[in-house]
Structures are given as structure tokens and as C-alpha cells.
Structure 1
Amino acid sequence: MLLNLHVKNIALIDEADVSLGDGLNILTGETGAGKSILIDAVNLALGVKTARGLLRDDETPASVELLFHVSGREKKQALRELGVVPEEDGSVLVTRKLSQGKSICRINDETVTVSRLRAVTALLIDIHGQHEHQSLLHKSKHLEILDAYARHEEADVKARLKEAYGRFKEAEEELSSYEIGEEERIREMDFLTYEINELSSADLKEGEIPELELRYKRMVSSGKIMECVSRAMEYAGSDCGAGDSMSRAVRELSEAVNYDDSLSELLSQAEEAESIVSDLSRALSDYGSELQFDDRELSALEKRLDFLHGLQMKYGETYEEMIGALESRRERLEQLEDFDGRKKKAQAAWESAKHEAFLLAKELSDIRKVEAFHLTESIRSALVDLNFLDVQFSMEFSWLDRITANGCDEMEFLISTNPGEALKPLGQVASGGELSRIMLAIKAVLADTDDIETLIFDEIDAGISGRTAQKVSEKLNDIGRSHQVICITHLPQIAAMADRHYKIEKTVKNGRTVTEVTKLGEREEIAELCRLLGGAVITDAVEENAREMKELAKTYKC
């Protein structure tokens, strides 16, 4: 459940803090007061791309915070699988800050990516607006709705279909590798043979290239190296070098220790130093004698390195990549040499994988058809509650001629809103107001199987009034019995049904227009209902009507 919404520096909102509760939360206000801004702010916190001009002040960071309370073991486990651990009290704080074109997303003070933010918030809140109503005109949305309704019944077969489809695509890719003509096959075999011979004759050895590169560096730098080594030998040598100095130090200390035994430790150190310098001198001499190269050796090394670098450019930088290239070419050559036999096997494997996938798609389709009956009956019943008195509602299936990871079904909702009229696709029948009611009916049905606790409805009242508006308010209240519902509305019938009522209005502060959100008390709710009912002039009859609407709503809730 969404406990709190905090918005700062977004469009007309300087700063707004809204505490929400369970049941039906209603937001009302004059046109242009900023109701849509709140929805934009919530969408922003859910990871939706920001619109230009959304920040109120470009110099001041903007932010949106959503504080949720999460209950239920399954929901907490789902969040943990996404790397989010609710606090001990079940709270999850979602924050998104915008500053100078940069966006920072956090969940419980941990910085997250936008994609992860979307995945997490998709488990917590669902927003329904005019755009989603229009999505009902697209058949792909209808399949999505059915699968959401039947997700538990479909889960096992869908998982098996996904695996089978993966095997089918692999078999299809394997089979496609045989879609070549005889001339092309011969050309490819000749080229593969050349590459295999080139790699095989190279006698590749692991670690050879870096070792040769090091040797080559030593060879081309041998003059400079020898110069440095010679000077080092001179400084460490026994003729006026460090070795000679240490020998003298040992002789002097050897004589002194005859007079003072306490110098014996220093004598040992001097003797050890003399030995180290002597060893260094011999090692430098040995290194210098080994640092002898002839032009033929250098030429051979250069030739080998050039050859290996050429192989790197063609087959891969590392030894492992080049060996892998050799193996893959040998496999492909074997494939082409036994072309007909292997093609038949690939064809058989593809047909088998396709058959398996189609069987699972048929199994999934059978489940969908059963669940579609239950879904459409439930939606039809909900539509009757929403003042579609003689409505018929069903789903029409068609079978694709291709397999997909989601089966072979294509489906479409059909509706008839008047007696005697044939069932037709939604787009040919439903008006804007009817689409909003149909979507509400669908959400009401899905709410019984959906574990998303918070639902936001924006423009759910588009194109409706009178008795229909009353029915919509009752349906929203029914959903609010098991979910937290947040609804922005212009209709008094819906506003009267509120468990909590918030007013959005524009005021002027310090010479700037700002939007504020205020929770209304009982008297203020009546005043707002009067505004929705009567407009500019509020008469006693309008106020009495408002009170009566509120009482009727309380009666319905009981």
C-alpha cells in the first residue's frame, strides 16, 4: 500500500506531501489545478521517462518519494528476488531525483538502475489512464489481459513452452546453416580447409606470443640494456666498486673485533653484504654474457611474431580464441563434408522441436479457451454492474500459422451493447466513455487474482455521467474493499464515495503559482461536492444534494 507521496519542484508543485490510506482515495480539483501533475510525478518515481519542462526550477533539484508498506510473505519474497529487502516494519521507500539532466533512483537508500526501479515498482503499484483505455483497441492487449487472469493455470505449460521454443529456434538456426547451394558449399569447404591448414601448421603454443614479444623487446633494446648492465657491474665490481668497498669494510671490522667482541654482529652484517654484492656482480656478468643475439635470430623472431600477429587479426587475440576458431572450422568442415546426412538430421531435429512446441502451444490454447470463458463471463457481469444492461461480451480465438514463445493464439474481445446487435470488435463499437468502463470492469475482475495492492485510476470517468457515474463509483468502492484505490475524478458521484478525499488547488505564493494538495474534513468534503455539483453558485439545494450523496455513499459502503 502507498502510505505517502512526497513531490518537490515538479511543474507547479513547489512541495507537496500527501499521506494516503487504504480503501478509496479520491482527488478532485478545478481543471488545470495540477491533478495530472501528480500522476506525472508518480510515473516519474516508477521509472517513466521524464518530459521536457517537468522541473519547476532548473536550478533546484526535483524529487519524488513513494513510501510503501509491503505485507505478505510472497510479495516480500518477490522483492527479495529483485534485490530489495523491506525494512522490519515492511516499508519500502522509492525515490527518484532529477538535477541538471541527471536522474538518480534509490530504493531504501540504495542506488538502483531505472530498469530495476521499474521491475520493483511493477510489483507495488499499477496506474490506469486514458492511454491504457485506448490500448483496448489493440488485439495484443487482449491476450495480455487473458494471460494475466490465467497466469497461475498457465504457468507450468508456459514454462515448458518457453524451453521447447528455445530448442525449436536452435534447431531452426542449425537447419538454416544448410541453406546453401552446391557451388557455395564447395567454395566454403575450400576456404575452411585453407584456414584449418593455416592454423594447424602454425603450431600454436599457449603463452607463446607474450613470451616472444618480451624476447623481441629485449633484443631490439639489447644495446641500451648492455650499457646499463656494464655500468652496474662497474659500480658493484671488486675494482673500486661496491664489492671492493665492502671487502675493505670487512677487513677493518675483522681487526676491530679483536678488541671489542660487541662488533661481531656488525662484522656478520658486513660479511653478508659483501656476499650479496659479490653474488650481484657475478649475476650481472652472467646476464651480460647471455645478452648476445645475432641478426639471424632477430630476423626469425620478427618473422614468427608477424605471422602470429596476422593470425590474431584473423582468428582472435588470445590463444584460446584461435584454438576455438580452429575447432569451429573443423566442425563446420565436417558438417559440409557429410552435408546430406547432417541436413537430414537437422531437418528431423527441427521437425521434432517444432512438433513439441506446437503441442505445448495447443495445450496452452486449450487452457486459455477455458479461462477465457470464465474471464469474459466475469467481465460481462462487471459491465452489467457498470450500467451496460444488455451487454454481451466474449473472446474470439484464431490460430497463427507460426509458433512463438507465447504460443500460436491470436484473440480479440467482442462486445454487443444493445439487444439484437451482433458481437463486434471493441474498436468498432465502444466509445471513449465505454472503453473506460470496460477497462474498469477488466481491472475489477483482475483485482481478484492480482496481488498488486495499489491501483491508480486517472480519467476513469471520461465520457460518463448520471446513473452510470454512480455505478462506476460503486465499482471503485468494491475494488477498494481489497485494494488501495487512488482515483482522480471530476464527478460528484465518484467523489462522494471517497474513504479519504483530497483537494488539489492552485494558489499564489511569493508571486508564483503553486499547486497544493489538502486532505479534506467532513465539512470540506461537502463543500467540494457542492462545487462539483453546482459550479460557481452554491445554493441550499445544491448543499442538501451534496449531503444526500454523501449519506447514500455511506449507506452503500455499509
Structure 2
Amino acid sequence: MLISLSIKNYALIDNLQVSFNDGFSIITGETGAGKSILLGGLSLVLGKRADLSSLKNTDEKCVIEAIFNISNYHLKSLFKTEDFDYEEQTIIRREILPSGKSRAFVNDSPVNLNSLQLLGERLIDIHSQHQTLELTSNDFQFQIIDALANNETELQNYKSELKLYKSLQKELNELLHFQAEAIKEHDYNSFLLNELVEANLVVGEIELLEEEYETLNNVESIKEKLAESYQLLGEEQIGIISTLTLLKNSLQKLAGMSSKYEDLYNRVNSSLIDLDDVFAEIDGLQENLEANPSRLEEVNLKLQKLHNLMQKHVATDVSELITIKNSLEEKVSYTENLDDTIQKKQIEISKKHEELNIISEVIHNKRSEVIPTLVNQLQDILKDLGMPNAQFKIEVSYGNDFFANGKDALSFLFSANKGGSFNELKKAASGGELSRIMLAIKSVLSKYIQLPTIMFDEIDTGVSGEISNKMGDIMLEMSKTMQVFSITHLPQIAAKGHSHYKVFKEDVNEVTQTNLMKLNHDERIVEIAQMLGGLEMSSSAIAHAKELLN
């Protein structure tokens, strides 16, 4: 509920501060006193766009602040989604700067206008005659029926499942599109993969093959050098090993004389052992070294193939080729298994489709069950509001398509006159009739769901005293479960309020200002008497005012 409203430097308002009660509050005032200014200021704090013309004094900023008790409004999820700081007593502030820029705050945290509008819609419903067009909206009509049908849980489940269903359909379409494109590339990717698989890629293989190629390609030269080395080492008379053996024998005789001779002996002996190993290895290499033209050709072809593959795939080594091969394997495998993936996705969609059908049917049945109750309640209320022949024909037909709120198509028809034909509300009802229908609907809704604070702006325009009396009774009944405001010119309605506020103009320092004050009991008598008989109040008008208040 709206607890208080503060407006500074807005239109004709210099500085207004007022507190409000729960229940039924009345706002009255002469035509032109500034009721629209008050509503305009309240609309700004609820997210309406502003401009520089809103400022009373263009050198100072305009500040509008409203405090709400939102403990019963179930808004924690909205606050979380919009990243607001949740407080049961929430403060909304709107500032319009002399530069024309505006700022908005929820509990002192800055917010954007879109977020503020979302919150504002959940806090106050300002209802004027032109807003009755909402009645003709299919979405609003469904909201009425679903409120009576208590479909909130089912609709939440449905919307959640529908989101998943659409997501699965999108994934399937992407898979089918990918499959169409992948089939075109599949043969080429398979060809590339087969080339790489046939190459039997091994990391480091190129280095080994290049070494083998060098050996096979230079076998005669290598044999010649090995033979020369073998002879230098193993010649009986002047070979290095024979000479080193003589040196070792000579030093052996000295080894026992001193440790330094022994060290020389050991070093020469160690060198001789190493040279013996070298000699044996050269001998082995000579025996195993043979010209092999066929192997040379084989190695050469393999190297050419690897280099061609690296050039083709823009790879620097075999390890990169292996990475490319693995990637191609994944692509080819994924393409070959796409049919299975698509089939699984289709099964998922089919299951989700069935789940949505089940929920949709529950929603449809609950809607169908409450429609007669809704029709009877609306027609009974409208009878009291001077529309005795008003009739509704409301039907929901179960279709094949999934809409945002189920599978139903809604026909919401109205006839104002006996024997008249049924038609859409916007064609069958006048502006005044739409206002009364909206009041009837809000009255019915208030029994089933927690509505936000509602402000009826001259909803009683053009109705008779008796009907206005019924309107007042309806709004008074609604105020048992919600906060209701009525801006009215009719004394019959004004007298029914728990609280009464008066909008008035006054001249302060030769400047006209709009203000709002709460009336006490005696002031209410005067105000209602003036509404009955004008400024020159008669004793009968005062007596009538007292009677109405009692």
C-alpha cells in the first residue's frame, strides 16, 4: 500500500507531503484544482517519462518520493531479478534535474526507467476512463479468468516447459541445418582423414626418416670413411690401438713407483678400452652397412608424403598433423552420428510436447469451469450499476498451437441490451459502460488475488446518484482486502471513504500553488455539503452531508 507521498517543485506543487491510510480513501476538489497534477506526480514516481516542463522552478530539481508497504505483494523475485534491494517498506524516489535529465532510485539504489515501470505496475493501478481499453485486450481477459481459476501454478509450469520446448526446437533446427551443411563437407573431410590415417603419423618420425635417408643416400662415402677409420685404429704395426698398447705397457712398469705414474697408466688404459669399443662398433657398422636402393626410395617417398601433408594442412610438424587428424575424426564421427543425435532430440521434443499438452488441458478445464461463475458475478454487479440487461458470452476453445499462456483461443463477447447481439467489448460497450465493467471486474478480482493499490480517477463520471451509491459500496467492499483511492465529484461516493483528502489551489506570495490536505470529520461535512449544494451551503445540504457520512 501507498504509505506517503512527497512532491517538491512539480508543476503547481511547491512542497507537498501527505500520509495515507489503508482502506478506502477519497480525493475531491474543484475542477482545475490540480487532481491531474497529483496523478502526474504519482505517475512519475512509477516510471512515467519526464521533461523540463515538469519543474515549477526551472532552477531547482524536482523530487518526488513515495513510500510503500510491499510485505503482502510477493515481490521478492522481482526485486531479485531487477537487482533491487528488497525492503518491506520500500522507498521510490524520482528526481528531475534543471538540465532535463532524470534519475530514479529504489531504496536509494539507482535504477533505470524500464525497471521502475515494472515495479510501478505491481504497486499502483491508476484507472481512468481511457485505460478501460485494457479491458479489450485478450491478455487482460485471460488474466481475469486465470485469477478465478487459480491457474497461477499451472501457468508458471506451462511457461517454464514452453521455454524448454522452444529451446529444444531451436536446437533441432540448428542440428538439421548443420547436418545439411555437414553432408556437403563430409566426403571431403573423410578423404582428408583417410590420407592422414594412411600416413601412419608418429611424432618425431620425420627426424628419424631424414637421418635414415642421409645414411642410405651416402652409403659408399660412409663405408669408405669407416674403413679408413678401422684401418687407422687396427693396423698391426702402426695402428692407434697397437701404439696405445705399447704406451700402456711402458707406463705399467712405472705405475708401481708412484701414484702419479699410476694415474697416467690408468688414463691411458681407460682410453685404450674406449678405443677398443669404438673399433668394435666401427667393425659392426661396416658389416651392417649395405646399399639399399629400394629402402632409400621408400624413405624418400614417405618424407615427400609427410612434407606434402604438412604443406596441404599448413602444419609445421607431425604433431600438428595428428591434431588435425583428431579434429577431422571428430567432425566425420559427429556427422555420421547426427541421425542418432537428431532422433534423440526429436524424442525429447515429443515428450515435452506431451507434457505441455497435459498442462494445457488442465489450464483449459479450470478456465472452462470458472467461466459461468465469472459471468454470473459480473452480470450481478452490473445489474446494481444500472446495466440490468448486460450479458457476457465467454468461451475458451482448445486448439493445436502453443500460445504464451496455453492452447486456448478466447472469445469474450458482450451485449448491453436485451435482445441485442453479442460483440467484442470495444464494439459493444460505450466508454461509460466500459468503466462500470472494469469496476465490476476489479471487484471480482479483489476476491481472488491480492491486487495492488488501485486509484479510480473519476470512474463515476456521468452516472446517477443511485448508481454512484452502488459504485461506492463496491469500492468500499474492495477496500477490505486492498488499498483503494477514488477521485470523485459525487458526494455519495465521497461519504463512503474511510479517509478524505481535498486537492485545492491557494495563492502564496502572489503565486498559485496546488496542495492536498486530509480532512477531519467536520471538514468532510463542509466538503460534502459543498459538493451537494455549491459554495453557498444550505442547512439542508449540511444535514444531507451528515446523513451521508453516517
Q: TM-score range by the shorter chain?
A: 0.5 to 0.7
C-alpha displacement of 1:394: 4.0
Instruction: Note closer, same or farther for the CA distance 1:130–1:178 as it changes in structure 2 (3 Å cut).
Output: same
C-alpha displacement of 1:34: 1.4
Q: Which amino acid aligns with 2:336?
A: E
The 2-side partners of 1:399 and 1:494 are apart by: 43
The 2-side partners of 1:115 and 1:80 are apart by: 13
The 1-side partners of 2:176 and 2:153 are apart by: 35
Q: How many residues align?
A: 424
Instruction: For 1:38-57, list aligned pairs within 5 A.
Output: 38-50=38-50, 53-57=53-57
Instruction: Answer whether contact 1:382 1:445 (CA < 8 A) is retained.
Output: no
Instruction: For 1:16-27, list aligned pairs within 5 A.
Output: 16-27=16-27
Instruction: Note closer, same or farther for the CA distance 1:183–1:454 as it changes in structure 2 (3 Å cut).
Output: closer
The 2-side partners of 1:91 and 1:180 are apart by: 53
Q: Which amino acid aligns with 1:59?
A: D
Which residue matches 1:529?
Answer: 528
Instruction: For 1:447-526, list aligned pairs within 5 A.
Output: 447-452=446-451, 454-526=453-525
Instruction: Note closer, same or farther for the CA distance 1:448–1:193 as it changes in structure 2 (3 Å cut).
Output: farther
Instruction: Answer whether contact 1:497 1:550 (CA < 8 A) is retained.
Output: no
Q: Secondary structure at the match of 1:136?
A: helix
Q: Secondary structure at the match of 1:177?
A: helix
Is 1:163 the counterpart of 2:160? The answer is yes
Instruction: Note closer, same or farther for the CA distance 1:56–1:451 as it changes in structure 2 (3 Å cut).
Output: same
Instruction: Answer whether contact 1:93 1:107 (CA < 8 A) is retained.
Output: yes
C-alpha displacement of 1:358: 2.3
C-alpha displacement of 1:155: 3.2
The 2-side partners of 1:493 and 1:194 are apart by: 90
Instruction: Note closer, same or farther for the CA distance 1:341–1:421 as it changes in structure 2 (3 Å cut).
Output: same
Instruction: Answer whether contact 2:384 2:467 (CA < 8 A) is retained.
Output: no
Q: Secondary structure at the match of 2:420?
A: coil
Q: Which amino acid aligns with 2:25?
A: N
Which residue matches 2:375?
Answer: 376
Q: Which amino acid aligns with 1:167?
A: L
Which residue matches 1:366?
Answer: 365
C-alpha displacement of 1:112: 4.0
Instruction: Answer whether contact 2:176 2:342 (CA < 8 A) is retained.
Output: no
1:29-77 deviation per Cα after TM superposition (whole angstroms, max 9, x unaligned) = 22222111211211211223335622223321111111234555x7586
The 1-side partners of 2:77 and 2:341 are apart by: 45
The 2-side partners of 1:548 and 1:520 are apart by: 18
The 2-side partners of 1:512 and 1:184 are apart by: 75
Q: Which amino acid aligns with 2:350?
A: E
The 2-side partners of 1:64 and 1:123 are apart by: 18
Which residue matches 1:28?
Answer: 28
Q: Secondary structure at the match of 1:441?
A: helix
* RMSD between superposed Cα atoms in Å: 3.8
Instruction: Note closer, same or farther for the CA distance 1:502–1:97 as it changes in structure 2 (3 Å cut).
Output: same
Which residue matches 2:286?
Answer: none
The 2-side partners of 1:53 and 1:344 are apart by: 62
1:83-112 deviation per Cα after TM superposition (whole angstroms, max 9, x unaligned) = 5444xxx63332222213333333343444
Instruction: Note closer, same or farther for the CA distance 1:130–1:547 as it changes in structure 2 (3 Å cut).
Output: same
Which residue matches 1:175?
Answer: 172
Which residue matches 2:255?
Answer: none
Is 1:548 the counterpart of 2:544? The answer is yes
Gaps of 5+ in 2: 195-313, 316-322
Instruction: Note closer, same or farther for the CA distance 1:461–1:332 as it changes in structure 2 (3 Å cut).
Output: farther
Q: Which amino acid aligns with 1:13?
A: I
Instruction: For 1:200-279, list aligned pairs within 5 A.
Output: none
The 2-side partners of 1:84 and 1:342 are apart by: 45
Instruction: Answer whether contact 2:85 2:109 (CA < 8 A) is retained.
Output: no
1:481-518 deviation per Cα after TM superposition (whole angstroms, max 9, x unaligned) = 33221111122222222322222122333333221112
Q: Which amino acid aligns with 2:167?
A: E
C-alpha displacement of 1:368: 1.8
Which residue matches 1:256?
Answer: none
Which residue matches 1:207?
Answer: none
Instruction: Note closer, same or farther for the CA distance 1:76–1:354 as it changes in structure 2 (3 Å cut).
Output: closer
The 2-side partners of 1:352 and 1:377 are apart by: 39
Which residue matches 1:15?
Answer: 15
Is 1:388 the counterpart of 2:387? The answer is yes
Instruction: Answer whether contact 2:51 2:100 (CA < 8 A) is retained.
Output: no
Identity rate of aligned residues, in percent? 34
The 2-side partners of 1:348 and 1:552 are apart by: 69
Gaps of 5+ in 1: 198-306, 309-322
C-alpha displacement of 1:361: 1.4
C-alpha displacement of 1:432: 0.6
Q: Which amino acid aligns with 1:544?
A: S
Instruction: Note closer, same or farther for the CA distance 1:130–1:189 as it changes in structure 2 (3 Å cut).
Output: farther
TM-score (norm 1): 0.66
Instruction: Answer whether contact 1:432 1:463 (CA < 8 A) is retained.
Output: no
Match of 1:98 among 89, 96, 99: 96
Larger Rg over CA atoms? 2
The 2-side partners of 1:330 and 1:525 are apart by: 87
The 1-side partners of 2:127 and 2:188 are apart by: 59
1:272-309 deviation per Cα after TM superposition (whole angstroms, max 9, x unaligned) = xxxxxxxxxxxxxxxxxxxxxxxxxxxxxxxxxxx99x
Instruction: Note closer, same or farther for the CA distance 1:175–1:461 as it changes in structure 2 (3 Å cut).
Output: same
Instruction: Note closer, same or farther for the CA distance 1:21–1:157 as it changes in structure 2 (3 Å cut).
Output: closer
Instruction: Answer whether contact 2:129 2:457 (CA < 8 A) is retained.
Output: yes
1:314-341 deviation per Cα after TM superposition (whole angstroms, max 9, x unaligned) = xxxxxxxxx9xx98x9877655434555
Instruction: Answer whether contact 2:491 2:528 (CA < 8 A) is retained.
Output: yes
Which residue matches 1:62?
Answer: 62
Instruction: Answer whether contact 1:413 1:425 (CA < 8 A) is retained.
Output: yes
Instruction: Note closer, same or farther for the CA distance 1:332–1:372 as it changes in structure 2 (3 Å cut).
Output: farther
1:170-210 deviation per Cα after TM superposition (whole angstroms, max 9, x unaligned) = 2311332355599855435479889999xxxxxxxxxxxxx
Q: Which amino acid aligns with 1:383?
A: L
Instruction: Answer whether contact 1:386 1:475 (CA < 8 A) is retained.
Output: no
Farther-moved stretch of structure 1 (51-60 vs 330-339): 330-339
Q: Which amino acid aligns with 2:367?
A: R
Is 1:146 the counterpart of 2:145? The answer is yes
Instruction: Note closer, same or farther for the CA distance 1:464–1:112 as it changes in structure 2 (3 Å cut).
Output: same
1:193-243 deviation per Cα after TM superposition (whole angstroms, max 9, x unaligned) = 89999xxxxxxxxxxxxxxxxxxxxxxxxxxxxxxxxxxxxxxxxxxxxxx
The 1-side partners of 2:189 and 2:490 are apart by: 75
Q: Secondary structure at the match of 2:54?
A: coil
Instruction: Answer whether contact 1:46 1:117 (CA < 8 A) is retained.
Output: yes
Instruction: Answer whether contact 2:492 2:548 (CA < 8 A) is retained.
Output: no
Instruction: Answer whether contact 2:94 2:105 (CA < 8 A) is retained.
Output: yes
